[in-house]
Amino acid sequence: MHENEHEMKYSTYIYVWLALVVLTWVTVAVASIDFGNAAVFVALLIAAFKSSLVVAWFMHLKNESATIKWMVATLFIVFAIFIGITFTDYPFR
């Protein structure tokens, strides 16, 4: 069933894992730097990067069809909309 799919290699995944570990270290390390209000932003940026590594490689989204990629994109757009529009409320109270 899956034989015709791309060849999987252990090493690729180990590199990805190494990158994730390094990024975890980075995010802990920069947490002690005072970015002020940008701190959340920096932390989320790193988290977003880490999770895209997991999604693209570990969950092999990068090898999936365009349909599934579009679906994932839709999910994130919808979620961004939910958060974005909620914030037309709270900062303006």
Partner 1 sequence: MPSHTLDDTVQNGESYLDVKGRYTGVFGWIFSVDHKRIGLLYLGSVFVFFTVGILLGLFMRLEQMTMGETLMTATTYNRLFTLHGVIMIFLFIIPGTAGTLGNFFLPIQIGAKDVFFPRLNLLSWWLYIAGAVMALLAIFTGDGMADTGWTFYVPYSTQTGTNVTLALTAAFILGFSSILTGLNFVATIHRMRAPGMNFHRMPLFVWSLYATAWIQVLATPVVGITLVLVILERTLGIGIFNPAMGGDPILYQHLFWIYSHPAVYLMVLPGMGVISEIIPTFCRRTIFGYKAIAWSSVGIAAVGTLVWGHHMYVSGQSSTASIVFSFLTFFVAIPTAIKVFNWVATMYKASIRVEVPFLYALAFLFHFLIGGLTGLMMAAISVDVHVHDTYFVVGHFHYTMFGGSVFALFGALYYWGPKMWGRMYHNKTAIVALVLQLIGFNTLYMTMMYLGYQGMPRRYFDHLPQFHDAHLVATFGSWFLVSGLLLMIGTLLYSVFRGEKAPANPWGGTTLEWQIPTPPPLENFDEIPTITDEPYAHKEEAV
Partner 2 sequence: MSNHAATMVAHKHPSDVEGAKIGMWLFLFTEVLLFGGLFIAYAVYRSVYPEAFQTAAANLDTFIGAVNTLFLLTSSLTVVIAIVALQKDKQKMAVWMIWATVLFALGFMVNKYFEWSAKIHHGIYPGSPELLADHSKGEIVFYNLYYTMTGLHGLHVIIGLIVFFFVLYFIKRRPVVTEEMPYEILKNVRGTSRLAVVSEKGEELGTVAQLDDKVELVDIRLTYEPVAEKRDPRNFVKLENAGLYWHLVDVIWIFLFPLFYLIT
Query: Can you give the binding site for partner 2, defined by CB under 8 A?
Result: 1-2, 8-10, 13-14, 16-17, 20-21, 24, 27-28, 31, 37, 39-40, 43-44, 46-47, 50-51, 54-55, 57-59, 64-65, 67-68, 71-72, 75, 79, 82-83, 86-87, 90-91
CA atoms of 87 and 85, how far apart (whole Å): 5
Answer yes or no: are the C-beta atoms of 58 and 13 closer than 8 Å. yes
Binding mask 21-60 for partner 1 (x = CB under 8 A): ----------------------------------------
Measured in degrees and rounded to the nearest 5, phi and psi for residue 47 equal -60, -40
In whole angstroms, give the CA distance from residue 40 to residue 27. 11
Of 64, 67, 72, 73, the residue at the interface with partner 1 (CB under 8 A) is 67
